[in-house]
Amino acid sequence: MEDITVARFGIILKTENFAGCIEFYRNVLSLKLWYQKQDLFCFHFGADSYLLVEQGGVGSSLRKGTETNPVVLRFDVADVDRAADRVAEFGIEVEVLRFDWGTIAIFSDPDGNPCEFKNADDPYFELP
């Protein structure tokens, strides 16, 4: 049997607070818009991936836990502290945690979907 060759990786995020999530991913996290249609926005998400935000999810005013949403959107950044400060400037609660394996900043989008910043210089993730 032949292996499957994946041309591109994408995440589809269904949201209840559609306008708030579009604002968040475009203006707070500075994701570049790839294209948009009436009920969806598609953002570049890394080099060859995308984040498709569309209507139809269930939002929460609190960060969703693993029992509700077991997925975390992680963004590798050059400086976790600076990225966390930028998010906090928008009035978003962010928590920076330091471990022996690296630093992360935890926050949520307007629908309560968990997001993280991680230090991009982690040697574990070096590309071959």
Both structure tokens of 106? 């935890």
Q: 45-54, pLDDT tens digit by residue?
A: 877 899 999 9
pTM: 0.83
Query: May I ask the CATH class of domain 9-57+71-125?
Result: alpha beta
3-state helix, strand, coil in the chain (%, to 5): 20, 35, 45
Give residue limits of the domains in the chain. 9-57+71-125
Q: 40-93, pLDDT tens digit by residue?
A: 999 998 778 999 999 887 766 666 566 666 688 999 898 999 999 999 999 999
